[in-house]
Amino acid sequence: MLSTLHRKSLAVSLGLLLFGGATSVAMAAGSSSPADLGPSNTSQKVNVTLVLGLRNQAALESLVYSTVTQGNPSYHRFLTTDQFADRFGASASDIAKVQAFVKQQGLTQVELLPNHLAIKVSGTVGQFNKAFQTSIHDYQSADGTTFHRPSSQPTLPSSLSGTLIVASGLSTEARYRSHRVSAFEPVAPASASTMSPAARTAAAAAPAAPPCTGNPTATCTPGEFTVGDVANRYNINPLYKAGVNGKGSTIGIATLADFLPADAYSYWSAIGLSVKPNRITQVHVDGGGPLSGPAGSGETSLDVEQSGGLAPWADIIVYDAPNTDAGFFDVFNQAVSDNKVDSLSVSWGSPEILYFPQTEGGVDFTDELRAFHQVFLEAAVQGISMFATSGDSGAYDTVRGFGGSLSDPVPPPLTADAPGSDPFITTAGGTTVPFSYSFRGGPVESITKEGVWGWDYIQTYFKKNLGLNVGVFSVGGGGGVSVFWPVPLYQAFTPGIKKSEKNQRWLFPAFDIDYTLPANFKGRNEPDISLNADPETGYSLVSSLDGPGLLTGSGGTSFVAPQLNGISALLKQATRGRQGLWNPQIYPLQNIFGYGAFSPFNDIKSGDNWFYKGVGGYEPGAGIGTLNVTNLALFMTVF
């Protein structure tokens, strides 16, 4: 069931990516369930990752905070992978128990990961059916693709309780979506011949656009922004002038699609940016991800282009894996266990509640969230700064995949996106920057202040000026309250942190879902930091598998996460060392120093993501706010 829902999310998100705009309820909810083709061939070979439990998790979480607390003896004394394995990975006796189980079941151990958090094994479908008391079946989705997955919940052996967390890889179904969105309509102004008289008058009276200054690669054109425009808006240029360009840093990208490295070099060349030659290394995990536009190769391209464009002399390692449960875990586990990258971003995810038994016919998949959490803790204690996206479905994370409207008898629930809801990852939100716009010859209107991204302004424009209802709900920057992860220490004293709302019910009869989310849960709030993400004020990219040349009008929080990744590479060079987990550092800075000309943060006080409004201080729309990167570098150097 979980994978059925994930498949629908992916299909709808790809429709958004390729065709722009927002999905309709019919498109989201009308897809048929995959057809069960019967039991899989029991002699078919299968690769599975057995995720092992941590030792001393409470001590590990405490150590993570110590490594980013100035004055603490452990400050910036990050562990190596071997040190992590010795102190917090599975013990030798626990590993031996799992290895004995593997041998007993006739399975073959392929690899014990250096962090001692996972064992990769291979065997036949029949052997895994027996080992985990399930029956793996073949399925065919509505688009004709086939895959296999268990037809009933796998059962872990009771003798390995607490030692074996989850067997990841029994399903080969595509499950996650990238958080990339295309503009609703082109942002180019309408021609005089198509403008209304009022629009022509407004256009004639408008002052001429000022020349584009600042970073030489900037365009100053919404929808065609480059990394140079990011540098202009968020005060990165002083770092470049001081010689900070990412040299000596290594950026990591975790993704579920392969890409063409030539696209990234083409992007940097097209905008006139000089970069370090031969800087990209690819690591194909579990055979690597698919290579195609519909599979999300453009997502990987933009991740590399944005992160590597902001830190043009950093090295880049791209870890790609198949879009499966095992692939998503393994891509993180490999990157963190290798410990070669200083920062790591991911732009794929899914609604947090899709892991819950209440949405999965009683089958509990939350152990997968715990498996991710273990790897994120390892990354943090090794000093790797991690960044995820908050999603592009506003405060209603299920809508982009499954439809729904606020006018429904049971409106969709407020939900958070995972893995961004995990407390040990920094989650990226989205804003809309000031611009003027006109749709279909209507009057010119303007957004004058940077605000939380939500396309309700487009909905309002069409209804007010053109008398049309357009299906853009709930496109916008993700944000909300986890109902799985408790509020972390770094948010406990932050004004503006919310509890989960009352009366949040997800009714989806097609899959027998009728789930009321916990109310007043003191959960982890996301996002943490935001930057411009609205496709209407969005970016250009090169993805030759999606189209030739510079593609424009792209956005989503999938741009923000790699941008923060590139910024982290600059900070590593500026401060002469890894920064570790950002969150326990940035929240106290905001709490103590607030906002202003010398603050690392810009407050976002306007806009909304269809529920959470931009107000002073923290809110689950833009989080703390946006960055003044040069000031942040100074604070992280001094404090």
In the chain, what are the domains? 35-54+89-172 (3.30.70), 224-638 (3.40.50.200)
- Separation of CA 311 from chain center: 20
| pLDDT number for residue 209 | 62
Q: Which of 393, 482, 530, 558 is catalytic?
A: 558
Catalytic hit among 299, 352, 378, 450: 299
pLDDT of residue 17: 32
**Rounded Cα–Cα distance for residues 375 and 322 (Å):** 18
Distance CA 605, CA 614 (A): 4
Pick the catalytic residue from 303, 330, 417, 603.
303
Beta strands in 293-442 (DSSP E): 315-320, 343-346, 348-351, 385-389, 417-418, 426-432, 435-437
For residue 40, the 8-state DSSP code is P
Q: Show Cβ contacts of residue 379 under 8 Å, excluding neighbours closer than 6 positions.
A: 332, 336, 344, 386, 424, 581
- Residue 193 annotated to the active site: no
- Position 23 scores a pLDDT of 30
Active site residue 303: yes
Place of tokens 């407050």: 603
Give me the pLDDT at residue 364, please. 83
Are 568 and 342 in contact, with CB atoms under 8 Å apart? yes
Alpha helical stretches, state H, 339-488: 366-381, 399-402, 456-461
Q: Which two tokens stand for residue 413?
A: 């629930």
pLDDT at residue 287 in the model: 96
Q: How far apart are CA 523 and CA 501, in angstroms?
A: 11
How confident is the chain (639 residues) per 10-residue block, as mean pLDDT? 32 31 32 81 96 96 97 97 98 97 97 97 97 94 87 91 93 85 69 46 53 96 98 98 98 98 98 98 97 96 98 98 94 98 97 92 87 98 98 97 94 98 98 97 97 98 96 97 98 97 95 94 98 98 97 97 98 97 97 96 98 98 98 91
Identify the helix (H) or strand (E) that includes residue 630: helix 629-638
